[in-house]
Amino acid sequence: MTRCTTARVDLAALDRNFRAIGWYLQDEASLNRSAGRGAVRPPGIIAVVKANAYGHGARPVAKTLEAAGATMLAVADIEEGVDLRRSGIHAPILVFGALSVSDLDGVFDHDLTPTISSPAAGAALQAVADKRGTKLRYHLKIDTGMNRLGFRHDNLRRTLPALLSSPNLSLDAVHTHFGSADEPGHQLFDDQRTRFESACHVLDELSAGPRLRHAANSAALLRDSRVWYDLVRPGLLLYGLVPPPLGSTLPLAPVMSLTSRVVAVKGVRAGETVGYGGRFTADRAVTLAVIPAGYADGLDRRLEGRGAVLIRGRRAAIVGAVSMDMLTVDVTDIDAVGPGDEVVFLGSQGSEPQQTIDAREMAAWIGTIPYEILCRLGARVERKYA
């Protein structure tokens, strides 16, 4: 038995998106080679699968990206990394997040690559590695202006030597993260790039040895090939969406679609209200379709009066409160809607532009970003993989 509200995760589209990004990196690098500017070598790809692969399901997504040739996979914390190892992933796994002392063993037991972003984290890992008699490879995070995790870029000569001389830790790569790559013209982006490059020079002076560099999320990858370095770290692009407000000619397709079915159709008289709070009042005789999906499935309450769904190839406005398990849409102007009709929240129902809704559009309706739309898809929504 399955609920009629289901997410379809198109792993073939995921694979094509990964390859499209790879070709883009190759083409741009060869254009740069002839023009003598920017990155001249295509970087490797760290495929970001944190947060249950942006709601798509970490295990099948990671398996697909590993097979497609990702250099590394990246997760938010040790638990996510351990889950991927348990599912049989062999590719290197980078953990982005801060490490809490309690779960450091997971790094060693499951061969994860930690990010070290503070002297204390370095000391803790050195102690465990020493006790276990092993050498641990890690990535070093530099904070170049995000002011979240990472060693501050401006006092590395003071904060790094202890880490770099840790006998049981071996530096594989250095990275930073951009705070405004998706804001065209924002000065912070260029400031962060120059700070990161200065930080890399400091590492050279501290003779930290050869190591890889990486910095670019999806937006930075599209914005400036100078920040590709050795590896790029796309997340959203893999799932087929360009971070707004950026545009791109990359041939990407959204990996997730979300559909349901009409369970009931009913008439409402002029002057009557609909749903909790009675906030929608019919100004004429209105036909409503009831759909068994609500905020427990991740559909935001702010969609009321702002969002729409596709039914019979037409857009039907969401009217009345979005409830926990259902919502109502206005189908007065759509012919012959009946129980069982397919409802599309994310996806297509025809080839006209009006017949497609993606997470970017849904996000714009409610003033959020497509990342949040994808990640908040409810746990009870079954993901069907194709």
Ligand X SMILES: *Cc1c(COP(=O)(O)O)cnc(C)c1O
Q: State the chain's maximal CA–CA distance in angstroms.
A: 78
Nearest approach, Cβ of 315 to ligand X (angstroms)?
28
Q: Which is nearer to ligand X, 227 or 334 (CB)?
A: 227
CA angle 68, 70, 73 (to 5 degrees): 125
Residue 131 among the catalytic residues:
no
Q: Which is nearer to ligand X, 42 or 235 (CB)?
A: 235
Nearest approach, Cβ of 131 to ligand X (angstroms)?
29
Decide: helix, strand or coil at residue 241.
coil
Nearest approach, Cβ of 299 to ligand X (angstroms)?
22
Residue 50 among the catalytic residues:
yes
The binding site for ligand X (CB under 6 A) comprises 48, 50, 96, 177, 217-219, 233-236, 243
Nearest approach, Cβ of 98 to ligand X (angstroms)?
12
Q: Is the dihedral of CA 290, 292, 298, 301 positive or negative?
A: positive
CA angle 193, 194, 199 (to 5 degrees): 100
Q: Which is nearer to ligand X, 178 or 295 (CB)?
A: 178
Q: Which is nearer to ligand X, 219 or 334 (CB)?
A: 219
Please name which of 165, 158, 260 lies closest in space to residue 209, comparing C-alpha atoms.
165
Residue of 131, 135, 266, 276 marked catalytic: 276
DSSP per residue, 103-168? GHHHHHHTT-EEEE-SHHHHHHHHHHHHHHT--EEEEEEEESSS-SSSEETT-HHHHSHHHHT-TT
Nearest approach, Cβ of 371 to ligand X (angstroms)?
6
Residue of 24, 50, 63, 239 marked catalytic: 50
Contact yes or no for 156/203 (Cβ under 8 A): yes
**Amino acid residing at 190:** D
Q: Which is nearer to ligand X, 139 or 261 (CB)?
A: 139
User: Which residues are known to be catalytic?
Assistant: 50, 276
